[in-house]
Amino acid sequence: MKTYFVFSIIFGSFIFSLSPSAEKNTSHSFSDDSWSGAVYFTETRTGPGIVVYQHRMGAIITNDTGTATHSLITEIKDKYKVTCNGQGRSWLEVGIDDTSYSIFAGVPGCQGIRVSAAGNVESTGEDETGITVPKQPLGPNRNSFRGTLVIRETAGNTIITTTYTWNVYK
């Protein structure tokens, strides 16, 4: 698990670093309404009985369409283990109003297995979903948005950490 987690961080960081930054003066041959870039989502949970909970999604978009990956690894002590992976088509939508913007990247569902503590194995999966970056304050450049948002919440004795990272541009 540790190798997978480190590889995911390194690979995600590498892919994100390939995305053009907001500071670069890059010319694009797309229409003025097309968006490109990268959007990532990671959710981890810690608490009593949780051995591991890692939910990851990432999308690389060019001219409003691209590919995305989706993975979920969960293990609850003495209850069950779930592994779920998916890869497929993605798309990007950017909403802008007078004071803010939001981003949505479509992500395919994932298919996998759930193994109970008793050893019973069953198919499991998630439907098509997406990464929704909540509303962010609009800056002076309406053609390029970049950022990282970390949200930490507590649900009972569980700590949920959700991280959004994005770099999108026209």
pLDDT at 33: 84
Residue 69: per-residue pLDDT: 98
Confidence at residue 32, expressed as pLDDT on a 0 to 100 scale: 59
Cα separation values, 71 from 31, 55, 60, 68, 159, Å: 32, 6, 15, 10, 20
Please give the pLDDT value at position 2: 38
In terms of Cα–Cα distance, which of 37, 127, 134, 145 is closest to 91?
37
Which residues of the chain are under the pLDDT cut of 50? 1-31
Looking at residue 155, its amino acid is A
Write down the pLDDT at residue 25. 32
pTM comes to 0.80
Domains of the chain listed by start with CATH number: 2-21+35-169 (2.40.160)
Task: Kindly report, residue by residue over 31-79, the tens digit of the pLDDT.
Answer: 458 999 999 999 999 999 999 999 999 999 999 999 999 999 999 999 9
What's the pLDDT score for residue 138?
95
Which two tokens mark 91? 């798309």
